[in-house]
Amino acid sequence: MSNEANDHPMHHGAPAHALERLVFFSDAVFAISITLLVIEIKVPELPRGASNIIYLQGLADLLPHFIGFLVSFFVIGALWNGHHRAFDCARHWSPRLLIPNLCVLCSVAAMPFFTAFVSDYYGSLVPSVAYCAWLLVYAICNLWNNSMAVSPPVAADDLDPEYAAMIRRRGWAVILGTATALLFCFVNPWLGQPMLITMALWRRLLEYLHRRGTLKTV
């Protein structure tokens, strides 16, 4: 075998490091997006020599921004954890991973904008709908992407099918949770972001139904 072949080991018809590059690139986008959230919180412009009360009022006015930052920080953190969990099962490179993974990264990269939008106009219908609807877009891309990561020919040959099914159920829970939050925006825009907590409730429900044998194909 030539030295050139040794320098570029092949893995299912593609360079062995291609999957690693995709994962590293994805981690970088998640990290940058989660960092950019805080940049959208602007320091209040106050007159020099302002009283302590005015400073405190300036910080109080930023409370919606801090809430939006914390919600999106932990949402993106949870989404990254799901991406990490799914791709920890991947062993083989496939070019078919590129488009779904780029869709996931596109939706993640836009989160700082939608977070700033909903924080500036917290409690308003359109910003709340836009935020939750964009998360629903992410959730759909997430299920598509992670399902490919835990399915042949990408997944590890010895991957437990039950574990792969659990990852797909988690993806459905994200979709159902974000859809629930989106629907609650039309009931009361203030409930949009808080209702994202239903992702955990949906996950528990899907696991319960799976144990009962109701979900046989998910």
> Per-residue pLDDT tens for 123-146?
999 999 999 999 999 999 999 999
Q: Say what the pTM is.
A: 0.86
Within a 13 Å sphere around the CA of 152, how many CA atoms are in the beta-carbon half? Answer: 4
C-alpha span between 36 and 31 (Å, rounded): 9
Query: pLDDT-derived band of residue 79, with 50, 70 and 90 as boundaries?
Result: very high
The residue with tokens 């977070």 is 115
Question: Taking the domains of the chain in order of start, what are their residue ranges?
Answer: 3-212
Q: Is the pLDDT of residue 91 over 60?
A: yes
> Per-residue pLDDT tens for 151-197?
999 999 999 999 999 999 999 999 999 999 999 999 999 999 999 99
Q: Is the pLDDT of residue 53 over 50?
A: yes
Per the prediction, the chain carries an average pLDDT of 89
The reported pLDDT for the residue numbered 48 is: 83
Residue in 176, 50, 33 with CA at minimum distance from that of residue 110: 33
Query: pLDDT-derived band of residue 102, with 50, 70 and 90 as boundaries?
Result: very high
The CATH architecture assigned to 3-212 reads Up-down Bundle (1.20)
Q: What is the DSSP code string of 99-160?
A: HHHHHHHHHHHTHHHHHHHHHHTTT-HHHHHHHHHHHHHHHHHHHHHHHHHTSTTTB-TT--
Q: Which two tokens stand for residue 110?
A: 């836009």
